[in-house]
Amino acid sequence: MFSTHEDPLISVPSTAAQPLWNQAIAHPAQEFARQPLPILAGTLPPEFQGSLYRNGPARLTRNGRRVGHWFDGDGAVLAVQFAHGQATATYRYVRSAGYVEEEAVDQFLYNGYGSLAPGTLWQRLNTQLKNAANTSVLALPDGVLALWEGGWPHRLDPDTLDTLGIDDLGQLGANEPYSAHPKRHPRTGDIFNFGLVAGANATLNLYRSNPQGRIVQKAALPLNGIPLIHDWVLADRYLVFCVPPVRLNALPAVLGLKSFSDALMWQPRRGSQLIVVDADSLELVSWGEADPWFQWHFGKGYGDAHGDVVVEMVRYPDFATNQYLREVAQGAVRTPAVGQLWRLRIDPHQGHIREQVRLISQNCEFPVVGRGEDMAAAPTYLSIHRPGCGDADGELFGAIARFDPRRDCLTLADAGPGRYPSEPVVVDHPQDPRQGWVVTVVYDGHQHQSEVWIYDRDRLEDAPLCRLGLPAVIPPSFHGTWQGRTDGAA
């Protein structure tokens, strides 16, 4: 579907001589209803009880055409429920309005982040952007939200994953998106998030919700130009945003001449901007400037003993990562995009960086942290390349890793050649905060099957504690979450 030149449609390429991971996205994923999972190796820890939810693009092709960017595939959510030493799983597409319409005619009808709908220029000019509902999930007491950058969440039944409809969370307006990276405050349970509202200059909407997900407070900050902000970090008393020097050239995008992705411009002379917001009032504390970089994702954030804010991020020197992600959708990558884990120490009142340290030089992504109280000492878990592999080899991440800041040590869990683990999800032990697990969904390109792997989070170098077979292939996904079981229900 979706080039920005003469033909907005991209034919599905041959899978010959392409990497094994391409098989996972070459065809639309197959749904399945809730069913028990076989244990392939090991045993389930008896305390491992709760639900894993993962979201990602599961349909990248229709009628011989493929989307122009990985971000444009229709979202599907995987739910894996663990209870009493057993596991069951469900996998369903999110029935967004765009998905339902396109499914009925087996044709792409909507524009996307990196895709233009077929048809004449006039037809594309009047085509809406599809809410792909494909980026992340937020587990609430009474449901699960499938999240996407540019629109409202879709509410799903937590057991069947039936799509119940879009949700305004009580206060979202018609042009107020709810981003894909909400953060839950570890002490209060309140949920913070943002939404980027386009205009001549964009507005950064800020939202605070109660633990049930209902928005109880809103604020707005004007920005300069229309930037790309994907993630942010909650650091106790502060919300911290890093605005990279990427701006939208709006006119070609509005006229349907270019997709949103192709109309984004890397402008390093602008530098990056640091925005610090008070978590209680949602008022601006500081706005600072820094050297140019780009980031998709943040890891930990906390306040230190000196009153500074410490944040982690996977940082790129430029915006080549966007082209890399476009190439993933085509089944073969050629553009290197090296992201490295960095730690920044920021003066929240002045908005300037006191210290910045590169923690991991290897290419990595998806930094996640458990909910331990001592965030300074807490390890960070990431997706990373296997030794000797990288973007230059056309490979996706083939391992997960644990970075221990106390020992400055990186430990890898190598899934093996031709296997591709998803973003690690940290699961804290329900009784002992010193223990826990890491769970990931692994695609095995040799067997063309997907599995759930559970590791002892402190012993990633060992084999998984348990491997569970899934009944269908789960394409590489973006983000997941864990919802612990507290009622003991089956």
Q: Which residues pair with 404 in a beta bridge?
A: 409
Residue 152 domain-assigned (yes or no):
yes
Rounded Cα gap, residues 1 and 3, in angstroms: 7
With a cut of 50, which residues of the chain have pLDDT below it? Answer: 1-16, 487-490
Range of the domain at 299: 10-484
For the chain, give the mean pLDDT: 92
Give strand ranges (E) for 291-435: 294-303, 309-316, 340-347, 352-360, 364-369, 380-384, 399-404, 409-414, 419-421, 425-428
Beta bridge mates, 286: 276
Closest CA to 144 of 123, 122, 167, 128: 167
Taking only the tens place, the pLDDT of each residue in 409-427 is: 999 999 999 999 999 999 9
Supply the pLDDT for residue 4. Answer: 34
Single-letter residue type at 415? A
Burial 269-297 (b: 16+ CB within 10 A, else e): ebbbbbbbbebeebeebbbbebebbbbbb
| Per-residue pLDDT, 255 | 83
Contact 131/279 with Cβ under 8 angstroms?
Answer: no
Q: Is residue 23 part of a domain?
A: yes
Classify residue 189: in a domain, yes or no. yes
4 in any annotated domain: no
pLDDT at 124: 64
pLDDT at 32: 98
* Total-model pTM: 0.94
Residue 490 counted as domain residue: no
Q: Which of 144, 145, 149, 146 is nearest to 130 (CA)?
A: 149
Residue 119 in any domain: the answer is yes
What single-letter DSSP state applies at residue 71?
G
CATH number at residue 277: 2.140.10
**How many domains are there within the chain?**
1
pLDDT at 71: 97
Residue 1 lies in a domain: no
- Please say whether the beta carbons of 250 and 260 come within 8 A: no
> Is 347 among the domain residues?
yes
